[in-house]
Structure 1
Amino acid sequence: MGYYKEDGTRIKKAAFPAVAAADVPMRITEDVYETRAYGPGDGRPEGSRHHLLFQAGTLVPQSEIDRLFAPAATLATVTPATGPAAGGTTVTIKGTRLDGVSGVNFGATPGTELKVISATELRVKTPAGTAGAVNVVVAADTGNVTKTGGFTYA
């Protein structure tokens, strides 16, 4: 699930549109929407639709904002898990909360052509590497997540 502005721009925790009020509550400065997956074909990531979560002007405790962004992304599978050292393999990564991913590294080298398909799937091309297993590190707005030895260069 992701959080978006009315125009469809994704909101990350650091850019959540709120300003501090006199105490712990935060005043929402613009409408915030959440996505809910329905079905493919409506032109949004994996068929998601935006529903109003907070209307501009609403007071929301900081703890609620933190709770919304608290669950970290997870990595379940990297497919295929093996590819040539020359790179260029299109890899599908499945997990949870992947709609906030901004980059994927294979070892210390960033992948290319990252495409977030949905909150549970993304695709990226492997960079060139040296033979052997490398960690797959996903940079998400909730923090980095690592699949140890997630990809092996043949």
Structure 2
Amino acid sequence: MHFGTKSATITANTATSVTVISPSGSGSVPVTVTTPGGTSNPLLFFYVGAPFKSSLSPVSGATAGGGSVTINGVGMATATAVHFGAATVTPTVVNDGQLTATVPPGTGPGPVSVSVTTAGGTNNGLTYAYVDAPTITALAPASGPASGGTAVTVTGTNLATTQSVIFGATAAPFTVISDTSVVVVSPPTADGAGGPAHVTVTTSGGTAVAGFTYLNAPGI
């Protein structure tokens, strides 16, 4: 049996089938079977190169998994598996240059390698970071005027990947100081009146909520 000009190793055959190990090659080649009775008509066999991955988005997410990631690259049309460390999921192939996958749960916070398996092989080179859900242990101060402008220090855990801080329904400007501290400036209330508001911190690992009190301006 030949793949183009190269002979293939036959591992089993019957009157109606032949099992072989394909030789090395590239592109498409004609496959023929030769018996004492002659040589068959050719059928095409396609060699598929190993995939190349260029980017992963997002690059981090909750340790519990469940988020969706997009992998861009080349040669991924035949992808059958995406590996996050030791965990494997089945991807959705968008086209030869892109696929999506649902992130499996992680064994704990930290980075894992991401590899894609196709008919052409497996290729590594990307990293995904699992992030534990944030917690908020304190807001300092925990109150401020309804007009906003209060610099509030949010203390907690797993805050390094903070993506947004919301006071009630209003996004607030913030600066990540460390994994345990974020400084945010309270926005004004929508109606100018005081009252309680939820402060929601969203990170790659999830969300955490604490309470803040807006104070009314004094009247005379």
Q: TM-score scaled to structure 2, two decimals?
A: 0.43
Pair 1:15–1:124, CA change in 2 (3 A): farther
Amino acid at match of 1:116: V
* 1:80 aligned partner: 141
Q: Give how far 1:145 is off.
A: 1.8
Work out the number of aligned pairs and report it: 112
Aligned pairs for 1:54-69 (under 5 A) are 57=124, 68-69=130-131
Amino acid at match of 2:207: N
Aligned pairs for 1:15-30 (under 5 A) are 22-23=80-81, 25-26=83-84
User: Which whole-Å CA distance do the structure 2 matches of 1:59 and 1:124 have between them?
Assistant: 33
Amino acid at match of 1:133: P
Using the aligned pairs only, state the percent identity: 33
* 1:45 aligned partner: none
Amino acid at match of 1:125: V
Per-residue CA deviation, residues 43-87 of structure 1 (Å, 9 max, x unaligned), is xxxxxxxxx975992699xxxx68x23x21111111100101110
Larger RCO (CA under 8 A, 6+ residues apart): 1
Is 2:75 the counterpart of 1:12? Answer: no
* 1:93 aligned partner: 154
Structure 1: 4+ residue segments shifted above 3 A: 14-24, 52-56
Name which of 162, 165, 188 aligns with 1:128: 188
Unaligned 5+ segments in structure 1 are 1-9, 28-51
Instruction: Find the residue that maps to 1:94 and give its secondary structure.
Output: strand
Amino acid at match of 2:182: L
User: Which whole-Å CA distance do the structure 2 matches of 1:18 and 1:141 have between them?
Assistant: 20
Unaligned 5+ segments in structure 2 are 1-57, 62-67, 86-110, 115-122, 216-220
Which structure has greater strand proportion?
Answer: 2
RMSD of aligned residue pairs (Cα, Å): 3.4
